Amino acid sequence: MTHALLRTTAALLLATSAVAQAQAIDLGTATGLGDALINSTSATVTTAYVAASDPVGSEAGGTGGSALWIGDLESAVGVAGGALGLDAYEGSALTLSFSVAAGSRIGFNWSLSTTGYNADFADRAFVLIDGQVATLATVAGSTLTGSFSSALRASGAHTLTLGVVDVNDVTGVSALTVGGLAVTAAVPEPESYALMLAGLAAVGVVARRRR
């Protein structure tokens, strides 16, 4: 029985090492800031701005809301003034919180598009994890697509914010769409499994000697 248990345990360890389970995160739990359209599997935020005197949804390319002036957006996402760029005028974002084990990874797919591309006014998308800002992508003449992944060293609650800002002007509309948001649990390094298997072998030796 000891041999069977060892074989079964070893097989489970090796199987676990080969597969990292990704757990989807419901985007529907996110809070939209500005012009944001959110459902459980995907979300879009844009730089479309609608003045109080304009009909709702009057700026082409928007989702029906209105982008925030940059100072208001920075305040809403909890960063200092200028953190989203001194050249940023307005923008929108979504923010959500989630909990993970240490060493997990957060990842998602994204696309970034714009109307009336101008290299001097290249809007950009950003990602904000626990207060740390990074540029996700800058608009180009055609729609860009990609994926993002980042390690989360600490266990517990984390905050993710994704957004897009108008750069150097407020004309045209840029849109960031994200989907496939998921957390992948940490998988022990091969060395860790080697140590565990060696320990199991030692247990087997001791068991045989006692018989």
Task: State pLDDT tens for residues 115-153.
Answer: 989 999 999 999 999 999 999 999 999 999 999 999 999
> Would you state the pLDDT for residue 63?
80
More confident residue, 12 or 103: 103
Count how many domains the chain has: 1
Tell me the CA distances in angstroms from 67 to 16, 21, 45, 95, 105, one per residue in order: 45, 36, 9, 15, 30
Please state the rounded mean pLDDT for residues 150-157.
94
> Would you state the pLDDT for residue 192?
45
**What is the rounded distance in angstroms from the CA atom of residue 115 to the CA atom of residue 75?**
27
Determine contact, residues 30/93, Cβ cutoff 8 Å. Answer: no
> Would you state the pLDDT for residue 61?
66
Q: What angle do CA 15, 19, 20 make, to 5 degrees?
A: 140
Please state the rounded mean pLDDT for residues 32-61.
83
Quote the pTM value.
0.79
**What is the rounded distance in angstroms from the CA atom of residue 202 to the CA atom of residue 140?**
59
> Would you state the pLDDT for residue 164?
98
- Taking only the tens place, the pLDDT of each residue in 62-86 is 788 899 999 999 999 999 999 999 9
Q: What angle do CA 114, 166, 125 make, to 5 degrees?
A: 70
> Would you state the pLDDT for residue 211?
55
- Taking only the tens place, the pLDDT of each residue in 81-102 is 999 999 999 999 999 999 999 9
**What is the rounded distance in angstroms from the CA atom of residue 90 to the CA atom of residue 134?**
17
> Would you state the pLDDT for residue 57?
52
Token pair of 7 as six digits: 């074989």
Determine contact, residues 35/67, Cβ cutoff 8 Å. Answer: yes
- Least reliable range by pLDDT among 47-56, 61-70, 202-211: 202-211
Structural domain of 185 = 2-11+19-210
pLDDT at residue 205 greater than cutoff 60: no
**What is the rounded distance in angstroms from the CA atom of residue 163 to the CA atom of residue 46?**
8
pLDDT at residue 109 greater than cutoff 60: yes
The CATH number covering residue 26 comes to 2.60.120
- Taking only the tens place, the pLDDT of each residue in 158-199 is 999 999 999 999 988 999 999 999 999 977 655 544 454 455
pLDDT confidence tier of residue 204, bands split at 50, 70 and 90: low
Per DSSP, the three-state class of 78 is: coil
Tell me the CA distances in angstroms from 99 to 41, 155, 158, 187, 193, one per residue in order: 18, 7, 6, 17, 26
pLDDT at residue 36 greater than cutoff 70: yes
Quote the radius of gyration of the chain (alpha carbons, Å). Answer: 23
Determine contact, residues 167/112, Cβ cutoff 8 Å. Answer: no
Determine contact, residues 142/108, Cβ cutoff 8 Å. Answer: no
Residue 210: exposed, middle, or buried by beta-carbon count in 10 A (0-12, 13-18, 19+)?
Answer: exposed
**What is the rounded distance in angstroms from the CA atom of residue 35 to the CA atom of residue 48?**
7
